Structure 1
């Protein structure tokens, strides 16, 4: 694919950054590639990438073993990640004390999207990438998606493409650079470096890569299992380009509310051995909860033709059931607000992070008496509620097997009370964008659904502008 070069490279402190992002978001078909050409390219890359995943017993894992004493599942190199046991005790929620397996991965991963101008329009370099746990094989991923063990060559495989643009980025070309958490229910204090870096016209798209406008990426978000979790979290860190309307709460009030929740909640977690973990059973093939809920830890053998190495074995976490990630949106004095919740999860560095309005898997809460299970069942069913976004998206396919959640954004009307339920806060999209410039304020599900909300807001704005242009 031949791409024409753009003007001078974009600088992170350029006052026109937001305007250029807005322009890129408005263009949904054609500059470097049309939507029809993209679909053809994506289908070809999906067919070309072989990824065979076969369940195996733990005894057939290569370079993995259960450590003596602790029983933790560890890699022989001491790198990558391990599966350990965790005990947790919290002061809020339907369950106050429990034990579980958890992934321990101290390394900070790198998630990066490269951007450049093509014919005067900002484009994002996206990758068609297969992961062993993806329910559909290939998904649209960031330019770089790698653990430190991967991009430093611990696996002795091929070099991660484009990693040099992020590992040695010129500060003047950095548009976003922030540490963010991963799933606090399954990772212990895991963080990734989310980066957006501008590159010059010399950077071309490799075989599994494609330059897309932000508008084209936004359209892909609405397709089930098309844009992966790592791409969604990086997209959420983009600078905002909407109006800075006054919200129900000031920025200072929001920070006070977050800090108060971090300070008042008691969350005690302790890493323990995986062997003989209370409530969990281990067989030759799996580690699972005695009631058959939550998730299991399984072993798989993987053969791939598009990764840094051609084959390997590893543990994967397999969630049970399809989750729901739901966000309520309401216009307050004409300004859209999202209802975020202060949520405790055992793997967070701080006591809480902001989560969507509703987050969970109905099957996991069916045995508990309380409002959460009913909220999961009833979300988006009210008479004054309008669905703005509804798609099934998967979580990170490198550690989780077929982890699926229904992402749903619902707008409520004037009849819905402005009064906030305990532990919830109405926050505007520009205020959320401001929070996302800082680490550990929004959890990964919230960042994913905010990326989807931005896509909807841009699409709705484009639609209304088109209506006004066509109106005599």
Structure 2
């Protein structure tokens, strides 16, 4: 077994071999054949009443993003652990990466954190193998970073997972079988710019980690500042003090608080089989216009997982999602436009999200996002990546993530619906639970390869 994978090609080759070992297969089945899953008490639930359930919910809000809305939603109150183990050996920083097969991933196997497990899984309610490396992230251990971060608030109800990293000195533990490898930090971060390679949870943990630990010299973007204008802008924005920003950090938090107060979301549970505007059948649950998403049932085989065969529901979007993070030099400093994202699944009601997050059928409905659709056509694209989000709960939900820089002087006001923030301020927001959406963290992770660009 090779101790360290130190190139993009080696990592991709290992991932391909792992997919072959998993002998992955999945197929659609009706709910009536979905083993251990049932309709009970107005929701689709597991026979243990653990793991997760799919419930019905009706929401009302003063925000036009919600207004009055009913839908199925994943109810999974357990806090899972998503964590990377980092080692410093022979002057190199390596990451212990898992090639994890999940039914909803495009390509099935994607690169995941060292530990990616729900509470039910690492308590072994599935009766399968134990969660590897969990002992390195016990609450008594000294982690480098550790915070709760939200999952997708349009599909999960109040779902937050622990995002953690731990750095060790020396060779560290041996890979626990073929599904884990120590990978060089530089090639791993480079793969963030490859389609369908790094999974949602890995992106979230990496971007919430101390960036000083991810780069070559402990000074984020110091290499990139001499390589390109964007790199220089990132370096400056990362080091900018509040007095050079459009809003100081306290004002940013105040703007978020004001958005939360004005959203005023009210939730009411409804039976999953009688949601207004949705059709409930044994084969699936789907909205009447088939414009949003459906809940389907699947039989899955992945021989490299703790349990090699299982059934479960998966949520599947009918359309791909377009996510854009807009940036622009304002007052000579690069700022990023963070939309005040109102989503019914957030405990807080509102978090900072990407500038734009829309499907092809939604782009005419949002008064703030609609003008951005045209503005981004005039910008410079610094990153453009396709991902399939949350393959353990979603079925091939494809998202196009882009970072687009608008020309200097092009009018783009934040107004009450969004806020301009420097990279320095975004780093602070990443340390606050419930401040940045899952999609915002994913698109921000596309900046991490610039830590190594020279």
TM-score by length of structure 2 reads: 0.89
**Residue 277 of structure 1 corresponds to which residue in structure 2?**
275
Distance 2:334 2:369 in 1: 27
Residues 402-440 of structure 1, C-alpha deviation per residue, up to 9 Å, x if partnerless?
A: 011100110011122363233111111121111111100
**Residue 12 of structure 1 corresponds to which residue in structure 2?**
none
* Corresponding position: 1:170 with 2:141: yes
CA contact (8 A) 1:132 1:397 kept: yes
**Residue 223 of structure 1 corresponds to which residue in structure 2?**
194
Distance 1:110 1:222 in 2: 25
CA contact (8 A) 1:108 1:190 kept: yes
CA contact (8 A) 1:324 1:376 kept: no
CA contact (8 A) 2:66 2:343 kept: no
Distance 1:50 1:167 in 2: 32
Q: Name which of 418, 443, 451 aligns with 2:445.
A: 451
**Which region of structure 1 is more displaced relative to structure 2, 195-204 or 45-54?**
195-204
Residue correspondences, number: 425
Residues 161-220 of structure 1, C-alpha deviation per residue, up to 9 Å, x if partnerless?
A: 11111135522xx11100011010000001100010123524122321122233212210
**Residue 32 of structure 2 corresponds to which residue in structure 1?**
59
Alpha carbons of structure 1 residues 147 and 430: separation in structure 2 relative to 1, 3 Å: same
Structure 1 residue 239: deviation in Å? 1.5
SS of 2:107 mapped into structure 1: coil
Structure 1 residue 377: deviation in Å? 5.2
* Corresponding position: 1:245 with 2:240: yes
Q: Which runs of 5+ in 1 are unaligned?
A: 4-30, 464-472
Structure 1 residue 32: deviation in Å? 5.2
**Residue 10 of structure 2 corresponds to which residue in structure 1?**
37
**Residue 186 of structure 1 corresponds to which residue in structure 2?**
155
Consecutive aligned runs of 4 or more in structure 1 exceeding 6 Å deviation: none
Alpha carbons of structure 1 residues 61 and 153: separation in structure 2 relative to 1, 3 Å: same
* Corresponding position: 1:145 with 2:116: yes
In the TM superposition, 1:291-302 aligns within 5 A as 291-302=289-300
Q: Which runs of 5+ in 2 are unaligned?
A: 213-219, 221-237
Distance 2:413 2:31 in 1: 51
Q: Name which of 66, 85, 88 aligns with 1:114.
A: 85
Structure 1 residue 140: deviation in Å? 0.7
SS of 2:441 mapped into structure 1: helix
**Residue 380 of structure 1 corresponds to which residue in structure 2?**
376
Q: Name which of 47, 52, 55 aligns with 1:76.
A: 47
Residues 5-55 of structure 1, C-alpha deviation per residue, up to 9 Å, x if partnerless?
A: xxxxxxxxxxxxxxxxxxxxxxxxxx7523333232222222222221110
CA contact (8 A) 1:134 1:397 kept: yes
Structure 1 residue 136: deviation in Å? 1.0
* Corresponding position: 1:423 with 2:417: yes
**Residue 203 of structure 1 corresponds to which residue in structure 2?**
173
Structure 1 residue 255: deviation in Å? 1.6
**Residue 308 of structure 1 corresponds to which residue in structure 2?**
306
